[in-house]
Amino acid sequence: MKCPECGYNQKVKYGLTCGHCNYTFCFNPKESGPLKVTDGKFRACIKSASQQGTQSPYESSAVEIRLDRTDSDRRGSRPHPGG
């Protein structure tokens, strides 16, 4: 996985936290089925959905997903994919 914050190439086997900048990945491409969703692909979709790269409500949703995952990891459980 390529870290969308710093560009570091993080191997999934080393976990979902960037070894360079400590960014916490939202998506594990090995668990995302045939689409192989990654944080970078998700961000690209958000950017393309927003108007000319301006911040959209979807961008704050991506941050909330990441924060939710971080909180859940601290509790020892994972968030339900549906919210």
pTM for this prediction: 0.58
Residue 41 lies in a domain: yes
- Give residue 63's domain range: 12-75
Domain count, the chain: 1
Among 36, 37, 6, 32, smallest CA distance to 19 is for: 6
Q: What is the pLDDT of residue 6?
A: 93
> What is the per-residue pLDDT across 30-78, written as a single tens digit (0 to 9) for each?
888 888 888 988 888 887 777 665 655 555 555 566 655 555 554 444 4
Among 42, 65, 17, smallest CA distance to 50 is for: 42
Residue 60 lies in a domain: yes
Residue 82 lies in a domain: no
Residue 69 lies in a domain: yes
Residue 21 lies in a domain: yes
Residue 36 lies in a domain: yes
Residue 70 lies in a domain: yes
